[in-house]
Amino acid sequence: MLFHIAGGGPSGLYLAYLLKRSNGARTVRVFEQNPPDVTFGFGVVLSGRALQFLAEGSSEAIERLARRMERWSNQHIVHRGERVVIDGSSYAAIERLTLLRELHQLCAATGVELSFEHRATHAADLADCNVLVGADGANSAIRESHATEFGTRVHDYRNYFAWYGVERPFEAHTLTFKAANGGAFVGHHYRYKPAMSTFVAEVDAPTWEKCGMAAMTDDERRAYMETIFADTLAGKPLLSNRSIWRRSRRIDNDRWHVRNIGLIGDALRTAHPSIGSGTRLAMEDAIALWRAFESSNDDVSAALRAYERARGPIRKKLDTAMELSVTWYEQMASKMQLPPHAFAYDYLRRTNIMTADRLARESPDFMRRYRTQPEGIPAKSMHAGAVDSLEHDPEKWEPVFGKRSCSNNAAPSDPTRSLHPLSSAEVPMIRPLELHPKLHGVDHTARPTWRLRETVRFYRDILGLPLVHCISAKGWGREKEEHADFLHFFFDSGNASTIAFFYYIGTRQPPELVVPRGYMAMANHTAWRVQSETELLEWQRRLESHGVNVSQFVRHEIIESIYFRDPNWYPLEITRSLRDVEEPDAVDAAATIEAAMELEDTGRWKTIEQLWRHKVKFVQAQPEQAGAPA
């Protein structure tokens, strides 16, 4: 069995080592474009949990690498000059060149054939084999050779970043946030050698423009970062090694393999550094692919299918976490209005993977400090013009229930909104309301429950909603012969409305009324309003103190919310307004819905892009049409 692996990075080398070590009869060849002692970047950081995962491939190899690593047990988050320590966070880091050298030696010792300064520009260059693996990174020539068959999709994120080194050993893996010169900056830095650290500088899109970074050269940007982070760097210069400022890019593929060609690491799906090392994820892909060949006795087709089945759900979960994390960083200017401990807590919860209970177990010292912090009054929102009048647009991202859509770049939210200013007179479907009786707000919502005590405790004792009325009755209505006796009880929900529940005595919950999981079920929810971000934070803390799992703060256009579930698994929301709803919103909504109804009637509506294209005719309506009578 002949394996060709394009790319001599950590994932390609680890896969080659595992394949050859477990079966000496295999011929494994690695083709790397660079010389053996050349790499770009500085250090690679891995969590303690990541090292455990990687050891599942070869504990001996990981133990060998671990001997060359720097280690620490805390994470630091620096905000407003205050260092917040997150205990219980095990990390290790290694110089990237050292990592590659160790893997070169492991591969050579097992009989892997290493070919350096050999760049394959097309998959056909390496096609003379039984299996071809694309481990050649985000710019994979193997993938690009069959991009249509792989179903490759590319999306640029909004923030800009660059990787540097610095001759200063930092105590721990640290995130240092800075508000300066009207911009929002963050430095990600960690020690990878006794006297050396990696330093990743990142800015959001408004900062890139407002601070003039778009017009700078990379050398000028490096000097600018040395000024912004002068105290953090202690006067040390940032070291460049092909340190190019760029946007993160997400690359996805609908198919993980085409015929005998498989992809791993960034060639398959790029990782964002905000959720951990891309090196770790790529090496885990290598383990999964190696295991697939082991279990399938080198049946190529079966192995590639098994690899995707085993690894796909894991990568999908990580992709969701990555999207939420990216969103958080793109909104960091707004987040930076929070006081330091609340800010750190919000950061740790950004992917919805970390819960309050898990934090209490894994980082008890931090959680004790967080829960005893005075609430304080958050600084004025940077988006509102404070902190050097930083003018950001908080409405660019719309993460909803763990999903993320954006209003920029490859997956934009509605682009027709910016075609030209609108008024109600310019849109043909806006017509005078017919005379009809008027509704005066929602009186109550009602749902069934089979958990009486838990429901009363949650709504009355945790949410603090007064129990104001209870109907106790025998079965009634057209089905009264079969209708169970019941309670119908009401909690005061504020603003003259109530939330109500039916409790059917002596019955069991029918399968069709079990609250389903998944994002669609989240659409059926109740939302309460609060007046400020401070109140929203207070509610998040209160709910978590009662063991309720609460989401991070989620923004969508005009509101910011937290989400949680009651004991019946019904989705609930507490929200605050970010701005008033104005006439252009109503005009845009009318255009959107009118276009949507027409598309629904066609029976061929499948994507949001179809709606945006179809909506243009309503947005750019002729003035004479706009005046047409109803």
pLDDT in tens, 561-572: 898 998 988 888
Query: What are φ and ψ of residue 337, in 5° steps?
Result: -75, -15
More reliable by pLDDT, 524 or 478: 524
β-partners of residue 472 are: 487
13 DSSP 8-state letter: H
For residue 20, give the nearest of 489, 214, 12, 421 by alpha carbon: 12
- pLDDT for residue 420: 42
Q: Is the pTM of this model over 0.85?
A: no
On whether the CB atoms of residues 114 and 227 are closer than 8 A, the answer is: no
HEC string of 337-352?
CCCHHHHHHHHHCCCC
Residue 434 in this model has a pLDDT that exceeds 70: no
For residue 455, give the nearest of 484, 490, 497 by alpha carbon: 490
* Alpha-helix runs per DSSP H in 167-277: 205-210, 218-228, 230-233
Model confidence at 159, pLDDT cuts 50, 70, 90, reads very high
Q: How far from 392 is each of 124, 208, 414, 479, 574, CA to CA, in Å? A: 47, 11, 19, 58, 24
Q: How far from 521 is each of 279, 552, 564, 574, CA to CA, in Å? A: 36, 19, 13, 17
Residue 412 in this model has a pLDDT that exceeds 60: no
> Helix %, strand %, coil % for the chain, to 5?
40, 25, 35
On whether the CB atoms of residues 498 and 489 are closer than 8 A, the answer is: no
Q: Distance between CA 215 and CA 342 in Å, rounded?
A: 35
Q: Which two tokens stand for residue 292?
A: 């697939």
More reliable by pLDDT, 320 or 457: 457
Stretch 163-167: mean pLDDT: 96
For residue 100, give the nearest of 35, 170, 25 by alpha carbon: 35
User: Taken in order 55, 59, 61, 63, is the CA torsion positive or negative?
Assistant: positive
More reliable by pLDDT, 246 or 602: 246
- pLDDT for residue 431: 40
Q: Which two tokens stand for residue 40?
A: 């770009």
Stretch 16-39: mean pLDDT: 95
pLDDT in tens, 289-302: 999 999 999 999 99
- pLDDT for residue 473: 76
Looking from the CA of 125 toward its CB, the CA atoms found within 13 Å total 15
On whether the CB atoms of residues 337 and 164 are closer than 8 A, the answer is: no
Q: Distance between CA 225 and CA 210 in Å, rounded?
A: 15
β-partners of residue 555 are: 560
On whether the CB atoms of residues 51 and 280 are closer than 8 A, the answer is: no
More reliable by pLDDT, 7 or 50: 7
Residues 101, 107, 112: CA angle, nearest 5 degrees: 135
Stretch 89-104: mean pLDDT: 93
Residue 424 in this model has a pLDDT that exceeds 80: no
Strand 261-263: give its sheet, edge to edge: 113-115, 27-31, 2-6, 131-134, 261-263, 257-258
Burial grade of 168 (CB within 10 A; 0-12, 13-18, 19 or more): middle
Burial grade of 595 (CB within 10 A; 0-12, 13-18, 19 or more): buried
- pLDDT for residue 513: 82
- pLDDT for residue 464: 87
Tokens 């929203």, residue? 536
pLDDT in tens, 467-503: 878 877 777 655 545 788 888 888 888 877 888 888 8
Q: Distance between CA 270 and CA 268 in Å, rounded?
A: 7
Q: Distance between CA 336 and CA 352 in Å, rounded?
A: 19
- pLDDT for residue 394: 29
Burial grade of 344 (CB within 10 A; 0-12, 13-18, 19 or more): buried
β-partners of residue 239 are: 165
Helix, strand, or coil (residue 110) = helix
Measured torsion, CA atoms of residues 50, 52, 54, 55, in degrees rounded to the nearest 10: 160
- pLDDT for residue 582: 77
- pLDDT for residue 378: 40
Stretch 177-202: mean pLDDT: 96
Stretch 373-389: mean pLDDT: 40
Helix, strand, or coil (residue 44) = strand
Q: What domains are there in the chain, each with its CATH number?
A: 2-325 (3.50.50.60), 444-577 (3.10.180.10)
Q: How far from 437 is each of 260, 425, 524, 586, CA to CA, in Å? A: 67, 25, 27, 21
- pLDDT for residue 84: 97
- pLDDT for residue 441: 63
Model confidence at 64, pLDDT cuts 50, 70, 90, reads very high
Q: Distance between CA 358 and CA 206 in Å, rounded?
A: 34
Model confidence at 277, pLDDT cuts 50, 70, 90, reads low
Helix, strand, or coil (residue 121) = coil
- pLDDT for residue 26: 97
- pLDDT for residue 498: 82
Percent of the chain with pLDDT over 70: 86
For residue 350, give the nearest of 486, 88, 552, 523 by alpha carbon: 552
Q: Distance between CA 160 and CA 185 in Å, rounded?
A: 10
- pLDDT for residue 66: 92
Stretch 203-229: mean pLDDT: 97
Stretch 99-116: mean pLDDT: 96
Q: Distance between CA 76 and CA 64 in Å, rounded?
A: 28
Stretch 51-74: mean pLDDT: 91
Query: What are φ and ψ of residue 104, in 5° steps?
Result: -60, -45
β-partners of residue 37 are: none
pLDDT in tens, 531-559: 888 888 888 888 888 888 898 888 877 78
- pLDDT for residue 339: 92
Q: Which two tokens stand for residue 163?
A: 């990787």
Model confidence at 423, pLDDT cuts 50, 70, 90, reads very low
- pLDDT for residue 626: 38
* Alpha-helix runs per DSSP H in 211-355: 218-228, 230-233, 278-295, 300-330, 332-335, 340-348
What is the identity of the amino acid at 91?
Y
pLDDT in tens, 244-274: 999 988 899 999 999 999 999 999 999 887 7
Q: Which two tokens stand for residue 79?
A: 């905000």
Stretch 333-355: mean pLDDT: 90
User: Taken in order 300, 130, 289, 297, is the CA torsion positive or negative?
Assistant: positive
